Structures are given as structure tokens and as C-alpha cells.
Copies of this chain bind each other. A is one copy, B any other.
Amino acid sequence: MNVRVGIVGVTGYTAAELIRLLDRHPSANLTAATSRGDAGKPIHGVHPSSAGRNDVMIERFDPERMKASCDVVMCCLPHGASAETVRQLIDVGLRVVDFSADFRLSSVEVYQKWYDVQHPWPERIGVTAYGMPEFFADDIRSADVVANPGCYPTSAILPLVPLIKAGLVDPSDVIVDSKSGVSGAGRSPKLATLYCETNESIAAYAVGSHRHQPEIKDLVHRISGKDIDVTFTPHLTPMDRGILSTIYLRPTGGSIDDGMQAWKQQYDSSPFVHVVDHLPATKHVSGTNHVQMTLRQAGDRWIAVCAIDNLTKGASGAAIQNMNVMFGLNETDGLL
């Protein structure tokens, strides 16, 4: 089987990463790409790395035309705009992996409060498969829409869930201090992401107000059944890619070894989640769909450290992993 893949919103970094991964995928390939601003150009006109490797032309979005050339669409649009587009793609019978936050949360109210928009398709909130095959593979397999997880939430949910579920840590005292590469801020020219603003500098942003905080809380609850109180602080770090989350926890009485075992049991059969003894650096997983996590004692606290690549496992790699599950391919195809 060869899966034909379309990308809606092809100009950004998540799209570039999809193109990179599809280039090496043994049983999927890029067949269509759309962009409002760059229609009419070849893909290498916006991503020069594609020169000589890819001859897809960028078109204006047209769901019927996508239906003719694609089996699945990766929708890389911003929240709000995305839901409406996803609906049109579903209406013509396509399957979709949605990169926006529009279908990730369980509650329309929470969504509308944090994202400050009216949701265009609220019926789908809370019933859409969350694209983390480590927990939702069955839902994903048959889904028409998969809500691709947020980058920070991936780096927090994966280590948190097994510890919370096993009752090994206090759910009311969780701090996630995350450090992300600059690609997470997107490819639109902005002062804050100019080279000379972010290079040789690290800073916190959106302190107390980042939209991934409710996503972490929601998903940990959905998977573990427990309500957590989480403080989440993202930092912009001078590197292209990678997220490191340092997570401060209060153990309830078990040992570090108990925590490591809970992780190993949960992720035993996962091809991408690795429980390691060393302190993971983002470089150890850079450019891959792999996750590394470890757990340490610090006084009477536990500190979990989790490293992912924000563009791969935190975005486009997860999307390909979801696609592999949706179409019955090997979960690791194109991702090693």
C-alpha cells in the first residue's frame, strides 16, 4: 500500500518536517500541498531543501481536488482556522491529522476560554482521537480526524501519566518547567524570533498563561482519571529544535525505582519512548521521533526529565506515527 499525503498550510516548519519524513517513508508520499500565499510555486520555492527532491506544486486549498490526489491530509493551520478546514476535508471523505489545538481538549468551555474564539465545530470536541498512539492507538486506527498533540504536552503527559496513574506522586503539586527550541514559535517573521533576539539568550514566556497548560491537565485526567494541579512555564531556548521538560513532583512514599518501573511497564512495547539512566539532553533525540526520560531524587522531591524533538515527536513525527496507525502501516515507518 502507498498512502498519498496532502499538506494544507505548507509554508511552516511543521510542514517542512513532514516533507523531510515523507521523503524517506517506504509506503507514503507527498502528493499535494496548499498555501494561501504561495500557491503557484513549487515546494522548493518555499523550502529550498526540497530542490531536486520533490516536484509537487503548491495550490490553493480545494477539498475536492485534495480528495482526488490524497488519502490523508495533514492540516497545518492555526487554531480556529483549522477546524473549519478539517470539516471540509471530512465532508469530502478524507481522513485528517490536525496539527492545531482545535480538537485536543475535552471541553468546549475550556477551549473557548483559553483560545478566545468561538469553536466552529463544537460537536467534535471531546470525541476526537488524541494523537498519542502510546495511549489511544485504537481510537486513532479508525478515526477520521486525529488531533495531533501539542509539543509541550507530549513532553509532560508521557512522563506524568504513569506516575499519576500509579499514585506515586501527589497530583496537586506538579510543576513543569519546559525549554523549547525556537522552531516552536513558527515561521512567520516576528521581532521576537529574529536570530539576534533569541540567539545567546534564554527567557521564560507566557508565564502562567500558556495554552498548553490546560491541554496537559485535560489529557492527564482523560488517561489517568485523576485531576492534577499543574504549573507550566515555557522557555525560549537558543536552538532550532528540541524540548526538555524538567518536572518537579512530590512522591507519595514509593522509591525512584518504583517510578522508573511504572514507566517501563507503560512503555515496554512502545518503539519510541525510552526510559534511560542518564540525564537526557535534547540532542539525544534531535531529528527523531524518540523520547528519553529519567527520574531522580532531589531532597524530598522527585524530578522527572523528559527530552523530545518538538518538530518530530512534538509535531510532524507524531503525525506520521498517527498516519501509520490509521493506515495499518508499521508504527515506525519513516520515523527511524
15 cross-chain CB contacts under 8 A: A49-B286, A181-B196, A187-B196, A189-B191, A195-B195, A195-B198, A195-B199, A195-B238, A200-B282, A201-B239, A203-B282, A204-B303, A207-B298, A207-B305, A208-B296
Q: Provided the pairs A238-B237, A248-B231 are in contact, do residues A182 and B203 lie with their beta carbons within 8 angstroms?
A: no
Which of the candidate stretches A73-81, A98-106, A126-134, A273-281 sits at the interface with the other chain? Answer: A273-281
* B246-A204 in contact (CB<8A): yes
* A194-B191 in contact (CB<8A): no
**A9 at interface by CB-CB < 8 Å:** no
Question: Which residues 174-223 in A have Cβ within 8 Å of B in the complex?
Answer: 175, 177, 179, 181-183, 187, 189-191, 193-205, 207-209
A239–B240 CA distance with the chains assembled, in angstroms: 11
A239–B196 CA distance with the chains assembled, in angstroms: 8
Candidates B193, B200, B231; contact of A240 at CB < 8 Å:
B200
Contact code string A51-85 (vs B, CB < 8 Å = 1, else 0): 11100000000000000000000000000000000
* B202-A237 in contact (CB<8A): yes
A237–B179 CA distance with the chains assembled, in angstroms: 10
* A282-B201 in contact (CB<8A): yes
* B242-A200 in contact (CB<8A): yes
**A26 at interface by CB-CB < 8 Å:** yes
Contact code string A278-320 (vs B, CB < 8 Å = 1, else 0): 1111111111101010001111110101010000000000000
**A244 at interface by CB-CB < 8 Å:** yes
* A281-B231 in contact (CB<8A): no
Q: Min CB distance, A114 to chain B, in Å?
A: 14
Q: Which residues of B contact A182 (CB under 8 A)?
A: 194-196, 199
Q: Which residues of B contact A276 (CB under 8 A)?
A: 44, 48, 51-52
Q: Min CB distance, A282 to chain B, in Å?
A: 5
Of listed A181, A233, A281, residue having the most chain B CB within 10 A: A281
